[in-house]
Amino acid sequence: MRLRLTAHARERIEARGVKTEWIEAALSQPDRTEPDPKDPDLVRYFKALPEFEGRVLRVVSRQESGSYTIVTAFFDRGERRSRRE
């Protein structure tokens, strides 16, 4: 999987301690996806990460010719996968 990070994404991912493998997991096996309401070229990918106490990682990306351009990635505030799932 080829990832391209915007300058903003690179800065935010580093500041937030988001690992590249978490981003790849969100893109390759998301728990859910949704279109970005403001930009139809962007997709939001959501992935609950057991190694991060079940917190949900949101990755905003644009897919272009076999690669993903990552706009940002962050943990959704307060959103966790139910422990029953």
Q: What is the CATH number of domain 2-80?
A: 3.30.2310
Question: Phi and psi (nearest 5°) for 24?
Answer: -60, -40
The pLDDT value recorded for residue 5 is 95
pLDDT one-digit tens code per residue, 18-28: 999 999 999 99
- pLDDT > 60? residue 2: yes
Q: Where are the domains of the chain?
A: 2-80
With contact defined as beta carbons under 8 Å apart, do 49 and 55 qualify?
yes
Cα 9 from chain centre: 10
Q: Give the model's confidence band at 84: pLDDT under 50 very low, under 70 low, under 90 confident, else very high.
A: very low
pLDDT one-digit tens code per residue, 30-73: 999 999 999 999 999 999 999 888 899 999 999 988 899 999 99
